[in-house]
């Protein structure tokens, strides 16, 4: 399937749609998931167009993991979770709903099951406050 340059993450990357930005560098962007499965649920994207892992070039793969680690450390400091789950889906049959490669960084809290995937919008003001806190920790 050809990359759809109008997918929502491509539009966010072009600045045509808003996001709660957490971190950005020349190769990657990280922002809060608007339907978080737990508090602090963050998405990390390469800026280069790639629908999924199969299409991701090595340079973008390395950049995304570098940013993922950096953001994970900030999430640990900001939210004090008991653990962190990293998820990544390839293809609709694997659960992918937005067709621009992304890592999910999902903080985990003891005794708290994950909320449903991609359902239930979070409060915008709360996300804005959380993103600001993470940007401060990341110097971003
Ligand atoms: P996936 O199923 O891996 O493709 O996940 C897509 C994720 O993007 C879901 O967790 C959605 O909650 C999230 N999402 C969809 N639209 C937006 C948006 N505009 N801003 C932030 N997160 C989004």
The strand ranges marked E within the chain are 21-24, 28-32, 42-46, 83-87, 103-108
Choice from 34, 68, 85, 91 to test ligand 1 binding pocket (greatest atom count within 8 A of CB):
34
pLDDT for 18-48, tens place per residue?
Answer: 999 999 999 999 999 999 999 999 999 999 9
Residues lining ligand 1, Cβ inside 6 A: 8, 19, 33-35, 43, 89, 95-98, 117-118
Q: DSSP character for 115?
A: P
The rounded distance, in Å, linking the Cα atoms of 13 and 9 is 6
pLDDT at residue 68 greater than cutoff 90: yes
The rounded distance, in Å, linking the Cα atoms of 118 and 102 is 14
The closest alpha carbon to 22, from 115, 120, 102, belongs to: 102
| SS3 category, 2 | coil
Write down the mean pLDDT value for the chain: 97
Protein fold of 8-110: HIT family, subunit A (3.30.428)
| Ligand 1 mean position, distance from CA 111 (Å) | 24
Q: Is 137 exposed, middle or buried (0-12, 13-18, 19+ CB in 10 A)?
A: middle
Q: Just list the catalytic residues.
A: 102
Confidence class for position 1, pLDDT limits 50, 70, 90: low
Q: What is the pTM of this model?
A: 0.97
Domains of the chain, by residue range, sit at: 8-110
Percent of the chain at pLDDT above 70? 99
pLDDT for 109-139, tens place per residue?
Answer: 999 999 988 888 999 999 999 999 999 999 9
| Ligand 1 atom nearest to 18, measured from its CA | 19
Query: What confidence score (pLDDT) does residue 119 get?
Result: 83
The strand ranges marked E within 33-137 are 42-46, 83-87, 103-108
The closest alpha carbon to 108, from 82, 88, 130, 127, belongs to: 82
The rounded distance, in Å, linking the Cα atoms of 30 and 64 is 9
């Amino acid at each position: 399937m050809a990359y759809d340059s109008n997918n929502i993450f491509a539009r966010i990357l072009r600045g045509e749609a808003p996001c709660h930005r957490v971190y950005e560098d020349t190769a990657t962007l990280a922002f809060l998931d608007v339907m978080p499965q737990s508090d602090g649920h963050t998405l990390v994207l390469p800026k280069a167009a790639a629908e999924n892992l199969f299409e991701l070039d090595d340079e973008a793969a390395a950049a995304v993991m570098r940013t993922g680690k950096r953001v994970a450390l900030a999430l640990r400091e900001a939210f004090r979770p008991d653990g962190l789950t990293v998820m990544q889906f390839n293809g609709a049959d694997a659960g992918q709903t937005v067709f621009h490669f992304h890592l999910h960084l999902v903080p985990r809290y003891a005794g708290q099951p994950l909320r449903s995937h991609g359902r239930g919008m979070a409060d915008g003001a709360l996300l804005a406050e959380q993103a600001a806190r993470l940007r401060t920790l990341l110097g971003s």
